[in-house]
Structure formats: C-alpha cells, structure tokens
Structure 1
Amino acid sequence: MRFAAIGLDHRHIYHMVGGLLEAGATCVGFDPATGDERVLSGFRERFPDLPESTAERLIDDPAIDLIVCAAIPAERATIAIRAMRAGKDVMVDKPGVTDFDQLAAVEQVVAETGRIFSICFSERFTVPATIIAGKLIADGTIGRVVQTLGMGPHRLNRAIRPGWFFDKRNYGGILTDIASHQIDQFLHFTGSHDAQVVASGVGHFGVPDLPGFEDFGEVLLRSDRASGYIRVDWFTADGLPTWGDGRLTILGTEGTIELRKYVDIASRSGTDHVFLVDKAGTRHIDAAGEPLTYFRNLVADIANRSETAMSQRHAFTVCRLALEAQAKAAWLPARSRVT
C-alpha cells in the first residue's frame, strides 16, 4: 500500500505516518506546505528519506492509494474530498470535520465514490492500554458496560502554538476538536451505534488575553445501552511530566477498568497503566507492550475494501455527535459570552 502525506500542520502527522510505515505501507512523498514550520522541521527529522512533492501531484498520482492529512482542522475536509474524488482513500487527524456542511459533503463523496474516510483517534488507536481494555470487556471481565468517564486534559504550551490554534474558525471549538476522542471511546467501549447529547458546555477560564478561546468543555452522553461523561481542558500544569493525564474509567455491572494512559502520577513509571477491579480482586496491568492494531487493519481495509479498523458509520457518528455537542453547548460560567 502506497501513501502520501498532505497537511503538515499538527504533530499528530508523526504517528500517522510512523504507524503506517510500521504496518508495512510505503510513503512515497509529502507536501511540505505548513502553517507551522516547527511541525515541518520535526517531520523532516523523523523521516529524512521521504521525498517532497506538491499536494496536486500527490493527489493526481494514480499509484497512491491513501492520503494522510493533519492539516489545519477546518481544511481537512476539503483535502479529503479532493483525494477521494481522485480515487484515493483518506486518513485524517481528528477532528475529521469542523462543521455540519463539511460533514454532509464528506458523507456525500464517500457515498458517491466508495472511498474510505478514516479518522485517526490517537487517544484510542495509538494507546496500547485501550487494546487491553477492549479485550477485558470482550471477555466479560467487568460484565455489561453501563458508563464511561473520559477525561482529556492537555497542556496549553502556548509558546509553541501557531496563530490558527486559537481561532475557533480553524479548530471548530473544544468539543468538536478534543472531545471527539472521548466520544469515539464512549461509542466503542459501550458498544453503542449512536447516542444523544443530553447536555454540554464550554468556557474560558485561563489566560485573559484570549477571551474567546475555549479552554474547558464537558459533555453528557446517553445511548440505548449506557451513559457517558466527558471533560476536556487546556489546564495541565507544567509539573506533570507529560502533555496530559488522559484517563478513562469504564464502569461495568461486575467491575471497573481505569486507564491512566500517559502517566501514573507519583507512582509507577511509564505509560499505559490499566487498573482492574473485578470479583477476583484488584490488579494493575502494564499494557505498554500490547501491539497496536489500527494502522495494520487500515492497510488491510484498503486492500480488501473492508471495515476492520473502524466502520464508516462510526467515524461519521463521532463527527456528528461532536458537532451537536459543540452547537448546543452552554457558555460556562453562565454569563454573557466574550468573543
């Protein structure tokens, strides 16, 4: 499988390209156009042998099967549509889209072309702990899953953020952007095909000179099988040794699973800590060595026209729920919004 990278605006492009290479795919080139020269510099350091080209040449090349894209979020749908109309499958960074018009357009092109539009939800697909959690649930270890509690805190790192990062027209809002990860995990781990946004809210509590930047968000979801609460923010303190203490707690009728994905604060070193409580007791599972599956499954899906990495319905449902949560979000605290 041959692929190319277009849209080097977010550092997630590193693991998107790296994951495909590890899965046996061949990267035949990348477009160096970027809104953040630091991302481009980091890409060249990690992949020094990849040739540079232009988006037009890469999209028009009939020998390329897949386009991977981590462009400015609001630009991803346009690039994906161009690529799919040129006969290519697409993997984009989250969020796949930033408004309802983009979602409708992507859905239409997928229906017309039969191409794959996959979203790399890195907080599930590049985290071995989530693979272990899925296996425990499938084995019935915690019984029926009835609720998820997903937290996605991030460090702002303002000094290294490009200007587009703080403009909602570019990122779509904190729920459209970050919370798409937790919505993906809610649907996946509860086995839900759809859900209702019961309530949502966003707010700005941080740096005073960016009053319109959403740095906090929350969502309450409910499906016909389970409920879920999501909290996302940009308040990770500098003292944490990683970019955010991402957590997921999965409540079952016979036990619970907690994932400390990136750090176990003041305790065990490393990442991918799984804590299990069931009828047999409590235990810690080191999941760091568990093989990832998304990238090799996507490579197989492209060859076989299958949906083992992620169903197309799931990708679109996550997008729609994130947009709905963003659209109905109350401004927190309850006061006149500053824009």
Structure 2
Amino acid sequence: MPKIAIVGAAHAHVEYVLDELARPDRRAWELLGISDTDPALAERYAERMGSTAFAETQALLDAGPAVVYLAGRYGERGRDALAALRAGAHVIADKPLCTSLDELDEIERAIDGTDLTLTLLLEKRGYPETIAALEVVDSGELGDIVGITSSGPHKLNASARPDWFFDPTQYGGIIGDLAVHDLDAALLFAPADTAVVHGAVAGRDHRGFARYGVATMQTQSTIVTAEVSWMTPQASDVHGEYRMRLVGTRGTAEIHWARSRVDVTTEERPTRALSLPEGRRPAQDALDSFEDGAVPPYSTTADAIAITRLALLAQRAADSGSAMRWTRTTRTAIDEESR
C-alpha cells in the first residue's frame, strides 16, 4: 500500500491529490497525514479525509511516506521539497516547485544520484484540447511550428486570496506562477533544448504584486510568446480565456482551452474543429506511476526541473530587464546582456 503525505495545503490545488485519493480506485493508497504552516488548515483537510494533522512537517516525514505532495505557500515549497527528498520520498509538486533559481539548484543536487522521482503537475498536458492538437502537430499536418502565442488570463478574486499570495517574497512572481504552463505546452508542440528568454511585467501594486506579465523565448526554430495576467474581468463567464495559437509552415491550430475547442486550418483543408479525446485528471498519471512502480509519470524529474528553470529565468528576466539563456541540461543562467 503506497503511503502518501501532503506537505502544505495553502493553495487550492491541494484538491488535485485529495480528489484523486477519494476515488474508489485509489483505495490502495494510505494518506499518512497533512501538515501546513496554518495548523487550522491542516486540521480542516485532515478531518475531511479522515487523516491526521501534523503541527511539524518533519514529524510527518518521519512517519515514512513513500510520496509527498507539495501544495503549500509558494515561498515554502523549495524548502519542503528538499526536506521530502532528504527523507527519501518521491515528490509530486503543484506549480511552482520553488520561487528561486538557487532553490532549484539545491533541489537538483539533492535528487542527483538517487532513485527518487520529482514530478510537477503540469495539468495542461492532460487537457483534451492539448492531446488533440499534439496529435495533429505530430502528424506533420501543420508543417514545422515556427510561432506560438498564448494567453493565460485569470480572475484575481482578491478577497478570497490569502495575504501571503500578494507578498512577492512568498509568491515569487506571476511568470513563475502562471506562464510555466504555457511555456511547457509550447515545448510539447515545438521541442527545444536551448532558448533565449525575455520577460516583462506590469500593473504592480503598492506591495510589488504584478497583475500582468509576458514571457518570450526564441529557440533555433520557434518564437514563443506567453501572456499571463490576473485581469480577467469579474463578470466573465470563465475563470480565464485560456488559448494558444500554433503557426506552422503548412497550417495553424487555435486551441481554446476555456471553450473546449481546437480549430485547425491547413493548406489542403479548410478550418475544422477537432474531435476531442478523453483528458487526464491533473494528478492521475502521477499517482498511477507511483502506484504500479513501472510507468514513469508524464512529467519526469528532468521535465520538472527544466520547465521550472525556464519559468524562473523568464521571471528573473522580467525583474532585471536582462535577457537570459536557458539550456535544458544545465543549472547555469547566463545574462545575455553581460556577455
């Protein structure tokens, strides 16, 4: 029976794993307990799940979980990931995995040479629209993908957000938080191992919290622009009008995640809406992989570290005004303007 612990429950994405564990086909899992900086929060979720709330994270880790899920305050996740790895546990993390490149380097050093796995819940990979669009791209129908633009607006719902969310030292930045999904999706459609990365933010309030940001990366073959914001109008019928446009040498695809639609137009065929397959739940593949011990999660350790590094570099570029070079397999961030 796999044993799992939840370290940090401050973000609503804790529900990804809680919902998965509540499924009848997940009865093989044992939830050892839940810890959080806010004891009342840990108690609330533990009571709901019939589990135990732990006041101290280390006490929970000492109980011997095989897997740890991280969904706490963003600024605490790097520390918690290191603690879990040092306790010998595999890690499933909500994004962002951490809020600084130094933390990421330390996490990578901690996992190097071990048989542990770190997986990041990049849920857009499992959306039906992404799966359908990827099938078309892989078929070659669009030709070579040369341009990708995405938009990821969200409702802020400020009154429901905790204070830590607006603290730049805990939040880390809008690009590290939101653009990570679209940068990851872009690399599914146009794989690359190196890129020059830029970033910019706007709409900062008196606390330094930015409500709008753009990340761009240029690879050898593709230009990617990812716009994100906390500025979806409150009266909108969706939380965010998430979309992505793929421009290929022989056609285009318009992905409308919020509207459950993908439109494809090519040199040979007029615009058509793709039939959408069944999607995957955000934590489904991660728990499947740890449950049977044979199938690697859809987001591997290398993927989790590489895409986190890419998003953090874009955030650093936005904060510093300097371009950064991202390389999938290295820890070193190069300031392009200083070369």
Rounded Cα–Cα distance in structure 2 between residues aligned with 1:286 and 1:250: 18
Distance across 2 between alignment mates of 1:37 and 1:240: 33
Residue identity opposite 1:165 in structure 2: F
**Alignment of 1:256 onto 2:256:** no
1:29-44 equivalent positions in 2, closer than 5 A = 29-33=32-36, 35=38, 43=45
2:264 to 272, 276, 281: 276
1:1-339 superposed matches below 5 A? 1-19=2-20, 24=26, 26-33=29-36, 35=38, 43=45, 48-54=48-54, 55-62=57-64, 64-125=65-126, 127-197=127-197, 199-204=198-203, 210=206, 212-263=208-259, 272-278=260-266, 279-285=268-274, 287=276, 290-292=278-280, 295-302=283-290, 303-304=292-293, 307-329=296-318
For the Cα contact (< 8 Å) 1:29–1:53, is it kept in 2?
Answer: no
Corresponding residue of 1:269: none
Kept in 2: contact 1:175–1:326 (CA 8 A): yes
Contact 1:247-1:260 at 8 Å conserved across structures: yes
**Corresponding letter in the other structure for 2:105:** A
Name the count of aligned residue pairs. 314
Pair 297,158 (structure 1): closer, same or farther in 2 beyond 3 Å? closer
- The Cα offsets for residues 95-146 of structure 1, whole Å up to 9 and x where unpaired, read as 1110011001100011043311111123334x22112222222222322222
RMSD: 2.7
* In structure 2, distance between residues paired with 1:9 and 1:237: 25
Residue 267 of structure 1 aligns with which residue? none
CA distance in 2 between counterparts of 1:216 and 1:151 reads 11
For residue 230 of structure 2, what is the amino acid of its counterpart? W
If the length of structure 2 is used for normalisation, what is the TM-score? 0.83
Deviation at 1:150, TM superposition (A): 1.6
In structure 1, distance between residues paired with 2:155 and 2:43: 21
Deviation at 1:68, TM superposition (A): 0.8
How far off its partner does 1:315 sit? Answer: 1.6
Deviation of 1:299 (Å): 3.5
CA distance in 2 between counterparts of 1:29 and 1:128 reads 33
**Structure 1 length as normaliser, TM-score?**
0.83
Preserved CA contact (<8 Å) 1:255 1:276: yes
Structure 1 portions without partners, runs of 5+: 264-271, 333-339
Determine if contact 2:32/2:63 at 8 Å carries over to the other structure. no
SS in 2 for 1:131: helix
